[in-house]
């Protein structure tokens, strides 16, 4: 039964995202994305020649490298990896967490997210627009939903690496990390604004910006 859990997870996520898709409805059977096109539209233009590979991705079966500042890594299976998802309104991702790792507070402006725990124990939560924290500890076989657009996070609360499979009702959900957006934007947000918002001084703002700045 335990070996079937990942299969159940995939079937559940596909069913969920198909029912509550956020993207516009498609107007034809398929429209595999032409990712090389210079035409800019809401989505991607359709490829002229479609193959089975446009609907295939083998990247979710292998754990990602969690050796980084936050101790987690997201492996996406969205339209940029699976061109055949264009216009279909669904995508997936695998998220791996090292011991003590987090997926920092972030939002998905274009999709609701649902996660299924494959391995490990996680503390997860989201914050409503009334600043109410909705949080829970989830473990292997559990499901949790993060509503579209709300700030949310995950933390590995166990003593072993953890893994979830995530489903989104968008072909490209968009991800905006709160800390990175505020302290590592290009051009950067004025120090005064951040110092005032977080009630810290300019030196502290600069220290955070230095830590989060993209590595060259």
For residue 184, pLDDT over 60 is answered with yes
For residue 203, pLDDT over 70 is answered with yes
Q: Give residue 212's pLDDT.
A: 92
- 60 in Cβ contact with 75 (< 8 Å): yes
Query: pLDDT band for position 25 (50/70/90)?
Result: confident
Query: pLDDT band for position 15 (50/70/90)?
Result: low
pTM listed for this prediction: 0.85
What pLDDT digit, counting tens, does each position of 136-146 carry? 999 999 999 99
Dist CA 180 CA 170 (whole Å): 23
Does the annotation place 152 within a ligand binding site? yes
What pLDDT digit, counting tens, does each position of 80-139 carry? 999 999 999 999 999 999 999 999 999 999 999 999 999 999 999 999 999 999 999 999
| Count of beta carbons in the 10 Å neighbourhood of residue 209 | 17
Does the annotation place 169 within a ligand binding site? no
Q: What is the mean pLDDT of residues 24-39?
A: 83
Report percent pLDDT > 90 for the chain: 78
Kindly report the backbone phi and psi dihedral angles of residue 194, in degrees, each rounded to the nearest multiple of 5, phi listed first.
-70, -40
Q: Give residue 40's pLDDT.
A: 80
Query: pLDDT band for position 18 (50/70/90)?
Result: low
Dist CA 105 CA 153 (whole Å): 5
For residue 1, pLDDT over 60 is answered with no
Structure tokens at 63: 């754990």
Query: pLDDT band for position 12 (50/70/90)?
Result: low
Does the annotation place 156 within a ligand binding site? no
Q: Give residue 21's pLDDT.
A: 60
Does the annotation place 131 within a ligand binding site? no
Greater confidence (29 vs 178) lies with: 178
Q: What share of the chain is helix, strand, coil (3-state, %, to 5)?
A: 25, 30, 45
Does the annotation place 103 within a ligand binding site? yes
């Amino acid at each position: 039964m335990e070996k079937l859990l990942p299969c159940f997870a995939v079937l559940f996520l596909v069913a969920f995202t198909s029912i509550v898709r956020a993207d516009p409805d498609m107007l034809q059977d398929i429209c595999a994305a032409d990712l090389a096109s210079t035409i800019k539209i809401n989505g991607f233009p359709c490829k002229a020649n479609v193959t089975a590979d446009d609907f295939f991705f083998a990247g979710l079966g292998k754990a990602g490298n969690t050796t980084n500042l936050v101790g987690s890594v997201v492996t996406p299976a969205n339209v940029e990896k699976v061109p055949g998802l264009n216009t279909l309104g669904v995508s997936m991702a695998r998220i791996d967490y090292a011991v003590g790792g987090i997926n920092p507070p972030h939002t998905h402006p274009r999709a609701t997210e649902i996660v299924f725990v494959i391995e490990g124990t996680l503390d997860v939560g989201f914050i409503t627009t009334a600043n109410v924290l909705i949080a829970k500890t989830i473990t292997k076989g559990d499901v949790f939903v993060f509503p579209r657009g709300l700030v949310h996070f995950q933390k590995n609360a166990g003593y072993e690496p953890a893994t979830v499979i995530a489903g989104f009702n968008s072909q490209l959900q968009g991800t905006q990390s709160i800390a990175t957006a505020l302290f590592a934007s290009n051009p950067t947000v004025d120090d005064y604004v951040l110092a005032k918002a977080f009630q810290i001084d300019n030196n502290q703002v600069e220290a955070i910006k230095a830590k989060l700045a993209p590595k060259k």
